Amino acid sequence: MSSQHRPLADPRQDEYRILHEADLRDYLAGVPAVAARLGGAPAAWSISEVGDGNLNLVFIVKGTSGGVAVKQALPYVRLVGESWPLPLSRSHYEYLALTHQARLAPGLVPAVLHHNEPLALVVMELLEPHIIMRKGLVAGTRYPRFVDDITTFLARTLYLSSDLAVPAAEKKDGIAAFAGNHALCKITEDLIFTDPYRVAEQNRWTQPWLDATAAAFREDLDLHVAISQLKLKFLNAPEALIHGDLHTGSIMVTESATIVIDPEFAFYGPMGFDIGAVIGNLLMAYLASVGHERAPGDRRDFEAWVLETVENVWTEFARKFLELWRTQAGGDAYPKTLFAGDAGAVRLDAERQAYMERLFSDTMGFAAAKIIRRILGLAHNIDFELIEDPKRRAICEARSLRLARAMMVDAASFRTIGAVTAAAQEVREWQPDFAK
């Protein structure tokens, strides 16, 4: 809380209201750490609202010496409007998650400069010249740092908050600290795990080409069982403090840096949900890529890089996660004393591999769920949306749905990440009936 920093004791300062430009300027002028970073006279600061997410206001504020990003939660879902209220407390959970993540994965989340809980406001360092990774992927840009950074983020935030690393009492405290973020969890439960598979007012898809597939998905009981099992896992498996919304729109990048933003969906959930979010969104980038071609085949190198990245994300994540497990096993799970001696070490390592296989299976299921929701549900993404020709877009989407359905229902065929990228390559050449 910032009250100690502000000389102006305006009683309205901490009362929630939506901050518009003038109000925000006055507010930030009263926060010395922020004012100092911006530099110059407050009246000269430039302020622009740039939020393109689904939930919040985001301002970029620049002064003579630097800039900050200001995120304010609205009491409703921005994408939908006041008819869909959403608690401001998500800002508290985002702040809490940013704090944890900064400790677990230093340098991979934005530095928080100021937080005001009643205002549901977080002021962070301005990331420049970073862009939202999804935009870069649409443009066909490769990010050489990405694999190393995101796998460090995933391995460290997931492993180091799990029962493998943390004593059970501390972990239970963590679960309780995030349990109140249930309104955000409910969005995921509904929009990812339920609505795309049934008639729901907010669903949309590229019509008319995907009408038949959307209808088939609503009738597909194999898929409904699979998504319900994933939903049960999302409800019932507080394995680690997960980001909860780790798509490529929650990652800011340059060619030499990667920063994970927007953890307002954070809670203790299944690890595979975060890893699956990254992989599912990369698979969408891959299958959408042909839709952004200017000349046939002009993005083939980019696409090869995306597939290689899919493979490397899993293998590097698994390598780092196992390395942490071998060196920082401070949790109550798999106590070392039960695996003493050489034979014990060998057996524990075999069990670690089996653990990773189970996590891989979860990850593929969640990756598939993240793909389907972006094509048949409420929230879509620019990977597809920026493909102007709707039929061309529908072809990319139909391929993605075909891959996702197989990953979810026929999980036994996807035992390795190589099997997934091979299937992705195959489906890229598949023509849906409407395209023939």
The dihedral through the CA atoms of 411, 417, 421, 422 has a sign that is negative
User: What is the distance of C-alpha 287 from the center of its chain?
Assistant: 19
Of the two residues 192 and 306, which places its CB atom closer to its own copies in the complex? Answer: 192
Of the residues 298, 323, 351, 410, which one makes contact with its own copies according to CB under 8 A:
351
Of the two residues 1 and 340, which places its CB atom closer to its own copies in the complex? Answer: 340
Q: 349: which 2 tokens?
A: 């390592």
Q: 203: which 2 tokens?
A: 């669903």
Q: Which stretch binds its own copies (CB under 8 A): 41-49, 54-62, 333-341, 392-400?
A: 333-341
Residue 347 lies near its own copies (rule: CB under 8 A): yes
Using alpha carbons, select from 380, 377, 369 the residue that is nearest to residue 409. 369
Residue 85 lies near its own copies (rule: CB under 8 A): no
Angle, vertex CA 176, rays to CA 240 and CA 355, nearest 5: 20
DSSP state letter for 111: P
What's the helix, strand, coil split of the chain in %, to 5? 55, 10, 30
From residue 196 to residue 235, what is the string marking binding to its own copies with x (rule CB under 8 A)?
Answer: -xx----------------------x--xx-xx--xx--x
Residue 383 lies near its own copies (rule: CB under 8 A): no
Maximum distance among all alpha carbons in the chain?
70
CB of 370: closest distance to its own copies in angstroms?
18
Task: Indicate the residue type of 347.
Answer: R
Residue 327 lies near its own copies (rule: CB under 8 A): no
From residue 229 to residue 268, what is the string marking binding to its own copies with x (rule CB under 8 A)?
Answer: --xx--xxxxx-----------------------------
Q: Are 269 and 237 in contact (CB under 8 A)?
A: yes
Element (H, E) at 113: strand 112-116
In what side-by-side order are the strands of the sheet with 121-125?
46-49, 56-62, 67-73, 121-125, 112-116
Q: What is the CA radius of gyration of the chain?
A: 22
Residue 180 lies near its own copies (rule: CB under 8 A): yes
CB of 172: closest distance to its own copies in angstroms?
4
Q: Which stretch binds its own copies (CB under 8 A): 3-11, 15-23, 165-173, 306-314?
A: 165-173
Q: Which stretch binds its own copies (CB under 8 A): 70-78, 173-181, 247-255, 366-374?
A: 173-181
Q: Which residues bind its own copies (CB under 8 A)?
A: 163, 168-169, 171-173, 175-176, 179-180, 182-183, 185-186, 189, 194, 197-198, 221, 224-225, 227-228, 231-232, 235-239, 332-335, 337-340, 343-344, 347, 351
